[in-house]
Amino acid sequence: MDKQTLEACERRIEYTFRNDFWLWKALTHSSNKGNSRLSNERLEFLGDAVLGMVVSEHLFTRLKERAEGELTKIKSRVVSRAMLAHRSKILGLDTCISVGKGMLEGDELPISVMANVFEAIIGAIYLDGGIEHAQKFILDKLSDELDEAIANQDRGNYKSLLQQYAQREFTSTPAYRVVSDCGPDHDKAFLVVTLIAGQRYESAWGRSKKEAEQRAAELTYLALLATAGARSTAPAGHPVPAVT
């Protein structure tokens, strides 16, 4: 791999290595028998760990009210093979990586190769410049993926949207209460009401408590948005009695 290729890669990733050995190693795939000792597999292993830690910390700090399960789903989308391979392609890393002749028979390099080189670059930056530079690279290059994953998680998750709204507007976390159920044990339906700061809001039926909660949250969230939008012109209504 020549110096010109390494410099072109540095421009694309917007990081200049103090020791370009790490970049050379990161761009060398194990299929390149001529440079098998420089295989990027170990750097990929390290980069995967750094990537997971940086994305986890970012989501933990950015999404303070999200449950562990939501954070895990968002992180999984961001660090998926497909996402990393897509970002590698955008950065043009496919033109930099050194692979064996057998890998070049198709039109494009496999997704796994493209994802792995992205992680190897992270590992190389970490070893060359430390965690601060690795973190900057990850958050800069994956900013769109992070925003998209968060938006996709929110879409249709009205419990999450309502929680954010209620904490912002009422400084309170929504709760859900089963107020009725019907049907045999093997095929029950549940009626759930939404409670915010002791006030009853919308209710909904569902085939499970979780489904009913999601539907009640949706109705409540949409009703609150409609009320907020009409507040300047509509007369004030009577307050809903507190639930005891």
The residue ranking higher by pLDDT, 66 or 119, is: 119
Residue 33 pLDDT:
62
**C-alpha to C-alpha distance for 50 and 61, rounded to whole angstroms:** 17
Residue 118 pLDDT:
96
> CATH: 3.30.160.20, 3.30.390.10, 2.70.98.60, 3.30.420.40. Which one for 158-230?
3.30.160.20
pLDDT at 157 over 80: no
**pLDDT tens figures, 183-228:** 888 888 999 999 999 999 999 999 999 889 989 998 998 899 888 7
Q: Is the pTM of this model over 0.85?
A: no
Residue 240 pLDDT:
37
3-154 and 158-230 have identical folds: no
39 and 28 Cβ atoms separated by less than 8 Å: yes
Task: Compute CA 73 distance to the chain's CA centroid, rounded to the nearest angstrom.
Answer: 7
**C-alpha to C-alpha distance for 96 and 9, rounded to whole angstroms:** 6
Q: What is the mean pLDDT of the segment spanning 110-133?
A: 95
Residue 232 pLDDT:
42
What pLDDT band is residue 243 in, cutting at 50, 70 and 90? Answer: very low
**pLDDT tens figures, 158-187:** 888 898 889 989 999 999 999 999 988 888
Which of 27-31, 33-37, 43-47, 131-135 bottoms out in mean pLDDT, i.e. has the lowest? 33-37
**C-alpha to C-alpha distance for 3 and 21, rounded to whole angstroms:** 11
Q: What is the mean pLDDT of the segment spanning 131-160?
A: 88
For 108, counting Cβ atoms within 10 Å of its Cβ (0-12 exposed, 13-18 middle, 19+ buried), the class is: exposed
Q: What is the mean pLDDT of the segment spanning 48-69?
A: 92
Catalytic residue among 44, 70, 119, 218: 119
Q: Where are the domains of the chain?
A: 3-154, 158-230
pLDDT at 91 over 70: yes
The 10 Å CB-count burial string (b at 16+, else e) for 219-242 is: bbbeebeeeeeeeeeeeeeeeeee
Which of 70-79, 94-103, 191-200, 211-220 bottoms out in mean pLDDT, i.e. has the lowest? 94-103
What pLDDT band is residue 244 in, cutting at 50, 70 and 90? Answer: very low
**C-alpha to C-alpha distance for 120 and 48, rounded to whole angstroms:** 8
Q: Annotate the chain with DSSP letters as a single string.
A: --HHHHHHHHHHHT---SSHHHHHHHTB-TT-GGGGGG-THHHHHHHHHHHHHHHHHHHHHH-TT--HHHHHHHHHHHTSHHHHHHHHHHHTGGGT-B--GGGGSSSS--HHHHHHHHHHHHHHHHHHH-HHHHHHHHHHHTHHHHHHHHHHHHTT-HHHHHHHHHHHHTS---EEEEEEEES-GGG-EEEEEEEETTEEEEEEEESSHHHHHHHHHHHHHHHHHHHHHHTTTSPP-PPPPBP-
Q: Which of 65-74, 84-93, 96-105 has the largest mean confidence?
A: 84-93
**Is 147 a catalytic site residue?**
no
- Percent of the chain with pLDDT strictly greater than 90: 56
Residues paired with residue 180 on neighbouring β-strands, in sequence order: 191
pLDDT at 110 over 70: yes
Residue 101 pLDDT:
64
Domain at 3-154, CATH class: mainly alpha
Residue 213 pLDDT:
92
Kindly report the number of other CB atoms within 10 A of residue 22's CB atom.
21
Residue 99 pLDDT:
74
For 35, counting Cβ atoms within 10 Å of its Cβ (0-12 exposed, 13-18 middle, 19+ buried), the class is: middle
**Is 119 a catalytic site residue?**
yes
Catalytic residue among 2, 10, 20, 48: 48
Query: One-letter amino acid identity for 116?
Result: N
